Structure 1
């Protein structure tokens, strides 16, 4: 088996054996799907930027593996990158990966939440790309559906919907200025934001024409 195949097996087994996920199957499914999406995003970045593709795919798969345990508070969530890095390190050492690659993979995983690790490392295009891919996925097409569902958009009144969407459009415009570790990540980010911005602008246009009849009187 390749390192990636072993990593996939380890990720799936860890999630399957999780007592927390046994009681939260939908969250397990989402976290697994998200991990694969992030792995595929970093794969694109690695291919275009000439980075270690195998290493980044492994980092993408394992970046949220600590979700197998319940987070009791915000501090637990804030530390999940560092905890994921510790879990990843033990696994990668067991399968005999080179120590330098392990260090780089684990550093990228550790810093992907709040840009901080609990061990020494360098912020390189490789390590930054893990967090970049995580952020890119947050603004991909799937997240439009998920965000509207979580925010209970369908239950809002018309005026509340208009205000909600107006704020979305404004925020998406500001996010265009966020910096990334590679030009490829920046391009993917901007592409996702533009798609979402266009979607919400069209939605806002529909909402502005909801509940009102507009016409010109022809004499």
Structure 2
């Protein structure tokens, strides 16, 4: 049984990826800042006969990443890392708070880099290891009132494309570009006016899983 570590797996796309991969027989390592939603996802997986473990993780703090990775690999062999966790930052640049800017960059950019760096030596010891970075179409083009969010996703895109070259023949690295989804990500912003046009997290998860061996996925 192969094991997948998914960040931000308590809600939204991370949750749906965890549920769908568990149905396919993978053991899931659920990570996120809040334990309660992770436990809920774990229970859903167990009810379906799957296997999942919960580890709280603050991606914005390197020390937390180091300690959590160390605890995970002590008892689990991770062959697939999905960097899914993300933080939004929307509105005119002049109106964005420094706190929101810091959170977006620390989570989306540094968190992705920290976790990948810490887990990479372990991944390289596994059979057919994979890394998937959930980037979004914000990593492909500029957007109004998304300057900082887009900047963070462009950074992750560059990081991903560089790893594809650096780890060629050793680790399959996938860049996933998805449009808007109807998730709790949008609950605290009015940036998306009409959520009815958005795909559900389950729809997006199913598309991603059907193509997860590719180098680039567009949803």
Structure 2 length-normalised TM: 0.32
Larger Rg: 1
Bigger strand share: 2
More helix by share: 1
Structure with the larger RCO, 1 or 2 (CA within 8 Å, 6+ apart) = 2
